[in-house]
Structure 1
Amino acid sequence: MYKITVYTAPGCPYCVKVKSYLRELGLKFTEVDVSKSQKDAEKLVRRTGQTGVPVVEIGNQLVIGFDRARIDKLLGVR
């Protein structure tokens, strides 16, 4: 199984949705709150060119926003 990291921030409704969805699938993930770490926020901007969250990292692939179809495709579910 792939390593999954979810980059989030407080008050982000789509962050809540993506985390709930991953839990629904029974997947474990690491959550990184970019509001608490300038270093992580800067890393995310360098990698994506964006400041928005959520960003889901599945293996070495990035999914920007809660794109269920792309998440499913990368995980090989549904």
Structure 2
Amino acid sequence: MSQAKKVVVWSKKGCSYCEEVKSYLAENNLEYSTIDVTENDSLRDVLEVKYGIRYVPVVEVSNGSAEDAVYQAVFKVDLEALKAALA
């Protein structure tokens, strides 16, 4: 059995797409943590360095291994892309 995946949702207050992603995760009993970029440009800077974007939502999904975690990021507001990353 594979280890549980770690899910991180980069979001901001008032973002309906962000809420859609978090609702999907909650409805499917998938644990996640949130990084709120609201009024925090330094966090948007991190997104720009990592992925070349400054917008949210971004969902990072790890392979579950703490020592050598590899993250796959989902940028599109596309639940099918998110489902594929979680599979």
Give TM class, smaller chain: 0.7 to 0.9
Contact 2:11 2:35 in 1 (8 A): yes
Q: How many residues align?
A: 76
| 1:42 is aligned to 2:45 | yes
CA root-mean-square deviation = 1.2
Instruction: Work out the CA distance in 2 between the residues paired with 1:38 and 1:12.
Output: 16
Cα distance, 1:67 vs structure 2 = 1.8
- Aligned ranges 1:1-78 → 2 under 5 Å: 1-59=4-62, 60-76=71-87
Instruction: Extract unaligned runs of 5+ from structure 2.
Output: 63-70
Q: Deviations over 1:17-74 (max 9, x none)?
A: 0000000110110000012533322111111111110000001000003221111112
**Runs of 4+ more than 3 Å apart:** 36-39
**Identical positions, percent:** 34
Q: Which has the larger radius of gyration?
A: 2
TM normalised by structure 2 equals 0.79
Instruction: Work out the CA distance in 1 between the residues paired with 2:45 and 2:29.
Output: 30
Instruction: Work out the CA distance in 2 between the residues paired with 1:7 and 1:61.
Output: 13
